[in-house]
Amino acid sequence: MGELKLMKGNEVIAEAAIRYGADGYFGYPITPQSEIMETLMAQKPWETTGMVVLQAESEVASINMLYGGAACGKRVMTSSSSPGLSLMLEGVSYLAGAELPCLLVNVVRGGPGLGTIQPSQADYFQATKGGGHGDYQIIVLAPASVQEMNDFVGLGFDLAFKYRIPSLILSDGVIGQMMEKVEVSDYKPRWTDEEIQKISGSWATTGKTKNRERHIATSLDLQAEKMEEHNHKLQAKYREIEKNEVRYEEFQTDDAEYLLVAYGSSARICQKSVTLLRQKGIKVGLLRPITVWPFPSQRIAELANQVKGMLAVEMSAGQMVMDVKLAVNGKIPVSHFGRYGGVVHSPGEVVEAFEKQFLGGK
């Protein structure tokens, strides 16, 4: 068992990055995630692991620093909150187009616009439907605990390099700010130059040697047919990820007659709602997508054969519910409930919404 600590979600992102052997962090302050860079700057990992930490002039610069670092085969990351992520999307599109691996963290707050600094899940579309321009996807991991904030740093980097794709930890203000017991990972050394050559030597811009062609990190091809070919390659990769990397967790679904679908902190709240409903004798289960892209559509389609109705619970006006509806494909009623704009729903409010939707009110 690893070392146990009591930490904030944001702090553990920083701790996990250092322990994982990340090469660089580039970020810009924004509430409610500033503790990530603050923790890194206080830890001074450049003196221990050699990790580079830099406060950039903007989120636009941060994401482009990731491009520069990722193109060198380094494990680089950034973090931000909703408005900052919006600024980064041009860069994310370039990273996806150039097939560069990196790790992003979005500790989501209420929007639109400057919005609020309170928790939200209203960036689901932005995260899972591309967000920036062009046909692309990124892997999106949705932690529901401080422990998963720790675990998904390593998982996010591993998947990013496995598929040469950006990974995003889609957290929210609740998970970022709350303190929980967490088992932190053991220290791993950063990759050596030799390891980088072994892992990314076929594409990384580490300097052109005599025994190979020059490497170019680019998302550009002026010939439409070639760009279509590149898009086919990207789409094939996305289908592969959909096949291999779907992750989810089920809670009391074995005998369930109804299903709640929720991710992140909303899933934590819904666990309590399931317990409250079961105390009333209503057989309700919970499915928690851990990857929201790729989405557990197949499992939800299977459960649509078992349950009478599904309620998607998310702190948004109804975004993930669209993916649930697509998976269910009209077989059973699917509804949405959630507080939003920075307000967190209570387990009781979820129970009330469920009863109103499926049991005709109290």
Q: Does 124 bind other proteins (CB under 8 A)?
A: no
Residue closer to other proteins by CB (options 218, 244) is: 218
- As a whole number of angstroms, the distance between CA 37 and CA 74 comes to 19
- As a whole number of angstroms, the distance between CA 81 and CA 62 comes to 13
- Kindly give, in sequence order, each residue whose CB lies less than 8 Å from that of residue 39, ignoring residues fewer than 6 positions away: 10, 11, 13, 14, 15
Q: Does 346 bind other proteins (CB under 8 A)?
A: no
- As a whole number of angstroms, the distance between CA 173 and CA 82 comes to 10
The residue within the footprint of other proteins, chosen from 38, 41, 68, 252 (CB under 8 A), is: 68
| Residue 121 and residue 315 in contact, taking contact as beta carbons nearer than 8 Å | yes
- Kindly give, in sequence order, each residue whose CB lies less than 8 Å from that of residue 183, ignoring residues fewer than 6 positions away: 1, 2, 3, 4, 147, 150
For the chain, give the number of residues.
362
**Count of residues that interact with other proteins, criterion CB under 8 A:** 38
The residue within the footprint of other proteins, chosen from 5, 29, 31, 60 (CB under 8 A), is: 60
Q: What are phi and psi of 294, to 5 degrees?
A: -70, 145
Q: Which stretch binds other proteins (CB under 8 A): 20-28, 135-143, 282-290, 348-356?
A: 20-28
Q: Does 89 bind other proteins (CB under 8 A)?
A: no
Residue closer to other proteins by CB (options 42, 216) is: 216
Residue closer to other proteins by CB (options 214, 362) is: 214
The residue within the footprint of other proteins, chosen from 40, 61, 184, 307 (CB under 8 A), is: 61
Q: Which stretch binds other proteins (CB under 8 A): 59-67, 138-146, 280-288, 330-338?
A: 59-67
Residue closer to other proteins by CB (options 80, 273) is: 80
Q: Where are the alpha helices (DSSP H) in 245-292?
A: 264-279
Least Cβ distance, residue 24 to other proteins (angstroms)? 6
Which parts of 179-238 interact with other proteins (CB under 8 A)?
A: 205-210, 214-220
Tell me which residue of 28, 36, 23, 116 sits closest to 76, measured CA to CA: 23
Q: Helix 146-163 vs helix 224-244: angle between axes, to the nearest 10 degrees?
A: 140
Least Cβ distance, residue 209 to other proteins (angstroms)? 5
> What's the first-to-final CA gap in the chain, in angstroms?
47
The residue within the footprint of other proteins, chosen from 9, 10, 12, 23 (CB under 8 A), is: 23
Summarize as ranges the residues that interact with other proteins (CB under 8 A). 23-24, 26, 52, 54, 56-58, 60-62, 64-69, 71-72, 74, 76, 90-91, 94, 98, 205-210, 214-220
